[in-house]
Amino acid sequence: MNTNTLIPSLDLNDFLSSEPERKHGFVEAIGKAYEEIGFVALSGHFLDTDLVAKLYDNVRDFFELPLETKLNYEIEGIGGQRGFTSFGKEHAQGRTVGDLKEFWHFGQLLHDDSDYKGVYPENVRVEELPQFNEVGNKAYKLLEKTGVYVLRALALYVGLEEHYFDAYVEEGNSILRPIHYPPIKEAPKEAVRAASHSDINLITLLMGAQGRGLQVQNRQGEWIDAIAKDDELMINVGDMLSRHTNNKLKSTIHQVVNPEKEDWGQARYSIPFFMHPISEMKLNCLDNCVDDNHPKQFDDISAGEFLEQRLKEIGMKG
């Protein structure tokens, strides 16, 4: 089995530096990584260790609640976009077997005068855990802030103005998803914790990739273990950004495999932040990513249309 040596580790402080050489080096390194493998491990982000510890404590407390309590927070008719989604309900695109996971969704925090009030579902408050929503919302905003700077670097890499993505993600339909993979009690017939898939969104910022489980498929079709250090987020390109850049920045297939049998009794937690733009954003292939050697690969579509299409494909909407 390969290790994660092919997944570069980068420091966001290089991009934030006042030294042009450091900033340029970060832009080139992250762009090259997303052309070649689609994943990077990032330190220097805005999350602090105390907040991360509090978030995990609250997430564990929520998933340890009785099932009948958790089901009170499963909201029908919104494709699982807020609140609780019960075990096995979501599956990868092209599969019918549900993944071995349950999860929660925090969504965008909107001002009262936002145009998206009433468009995005309201966040769901957990009454049994007073700090759950507060801590989740803080983590949401700091992951969003980190993602903005990653997108600024990628904008420069593909020849756009640095702040090109800012207006699209400021009130974007982003999702923070704490995931619980329960202990495995019997041999799964076909199911895995998360079957091979690519993400829907622009970029994903993943907390909780410090142990074995997450694997990335390289360009040779080999599965590589993606293991971050304690202070790193694992960040990958999603299908929306891949489409928009005409596959210059590549959305990479990845999975969460089941542990070895001796570790079946251990639960796994991970917390990805799926960074989405506003629904009106056009994902049409950028002109400067299309030429004779790189013909246009994707039809024109908006982010909202693409999201609806993919939610149906993964079983979250009828």
Which domain CATH number covers 94? 2.60.120.330
**100 pLDDT tier (thresholds 50, 70, 90):** confident
Cβ 241 vs Cβ 202: under 8 Å: yes
Residue 183: the pLDDT is 78
- Beta bridge partners of residue 302, listed in sequence order: 282
- Measure the CA–CA gap between 81 and 62, rounded to whole angstroms: 18
Tokens representing 47 are 């999350």
Domain, as residue range, for 128: 9-313
Residues in the chain: 318
> In the predicted model, is pLDDT for residue 159 greater than 90?
yes
**Helical axes 20-36 vs 132-157, angle rounded to 10°:** 90
The answer as to whether 4 is a domain residue is no
Q: What is the pTM of this model?
A: 0.89
Residue 254: the pLDDT is 83
- Measure the CA–CA gap between 289 and 35, rounded to whole angstroms: 12
The answer as to whether 149 is a domain residue is yes
Q: Structurally, how many domains does the chain consist of?
A: 1
> In the predicted model, is pLDDT for residue 19 greater than 80?
yes
Q: If phi over 0 gives left and psi between -120 and 50 gives alpha, with beta otherwise, what is residue 51?
A: alpha
Q: How many helices (H) and strands (E) does the chain have?
A: 8, 13
Residue found by looking up tokens 């917390």 in the block: 271
The answer as to whether 3 is a domain residue is no
**2 pLDDT tier (thresholds 50, 70, 90):** very low
Of 176, 186, 167, residue with least CA distance to 277: 167
294 backbone dihedrals φ, ψ, rounded to 5°: -135, 75
The answer as to whether 72 is a domain residue is yes
- Measure the CA–CA gap between 222 and 149, rounded to whole angstroms: 30
Ranked by mean pLDDT, the top range of 23-32, 68-77, 215-224 is 23-32
- Measure the CA–CA gap between 281 and 302, rounded to whole angstroms: 6
The answer as to whether 133 is a domain residue is yes
Residue 103: the pLDDT is 94
Fill in the DSSP letter of residue 209: -
